[in-house]
Structure 1
Amino acid sequence: MPAAVVTSNARWEHFPHDADVGIKGFGATPAEAFEQAAQALTAVVTHAEVRPAVRVEVSCEGPDLELLFVEWLNAIIYEMAVRGMLFGRFAVRIEGTLLDGVLWGEPVDVERHAPACEPKGATYTALRVAADDNGIWSAACIVDV
């Protein structure tokens, strides 16, 4: 699995954690960091390109940015499981404790996507959403796989 992808301030990376995997997204805003972390989540499953053939809307709520981040990732994992899809493009809008997101993806093609694992859920382990001294936001946690 790729370790990181960088495009300007928006990027993502994986970090090791026992049998699970850490994901981390970076961006100019919390929303952009959440979008990048979603890319990292998909990269845990497949290296293949995921086509934006189907649009799925999700909404979630959390009392703070960290818990909202976990809710966001778990909403994606839920949609992956119930729809049998992978998502490769994401848009997030955060207003207070509410998140509205759009996922674009396609049904899993086992031959083309060669899924490495199925994420079970985002956890509170290593959970952190914060801006650094340069104003770059990061959103990170461990995902149970």
Structure 2
Amino acid sequence: MWTHFQHGADIGVRGVGETLERAFEEAAVALTAVIVEPAEVHCRETVEVQCEAPDRELLLADWLNALVYEMATRHMLFCRFKVEFQGARLHGSACGEAVDIARHQPAVEVKGATYTELEVREERPGKWRAQCVVDV
């Protein structure tokens, strides 16, 4: 499950899942949903992403910022994500396609994930939450 939450002129993205990995994956879907309806993006090409950070919160920001970078430099949108952790490292993949302005009709451009309301925690056994505010 993913959701947005309001934050001034920017927007919060939140991923919720039964595992930490799933929460990070859902936060990535929420990131895509800021731009376009994720269901409108087809999984045609997979991009590998790797990040490393000293804690989970910084790792979430790095993960989302790596996805923003990949979207910007490859002119792509992503709809499906996979995350695996190995200690302080995140190995992830994002599947998507080239942006088609007419079909996708992107709403905004995400500039990056911020540290505002950055939080990664296990709310209860089997329910993780990963969130932050993204600059649009």
One fold, TM greater than 0.5?
yes
Contact (CA 8 Å) 2:17, 2:126: kept in 1 or not?
no
Percent of paired sites with the same residue: 56
Select 1:22's aligned residue among 6, 12, 17.
12
Gaps of 5+ in 2: none
The letter of the residue matching 1:55 is: T
Query: What residue number does 1:40 align with?
Result: 30
After TM superposition, give the deviation of residue 28 of structure 1 in Å: 1.1
CA distance in 1, matches of 2:53, 2:117: 17
Q: How does 1:45-124 map to 2 (within 5 A)?
A: 45-47=35-37, 49-124=40-115
Alignment root-mean-square deviation, CA = 0.8
Which runs of 5 or more residues in structure 1 are unaligned?
Answer: 1-10
Residue 31 of structure 1: aligned partner: 21
Deviations 1:12-65 (A, max 9, x none): 000001110000000111110000000000000012511000110010001000
Q: Calculate the TM-score normalised by the size of structure 2.
A: 0.97
- How many residue pairs match? The answer is 135
Are the equivalent residues in 1 in contact too, given 2:70–2:76 (CA < 8 A)? yes
Residue in structure 2 matched with residue 6 of structure 1 by the alignment: none
The runs of at least 4 aligned residues of structure 1 exceeding 4 Å deviation read none
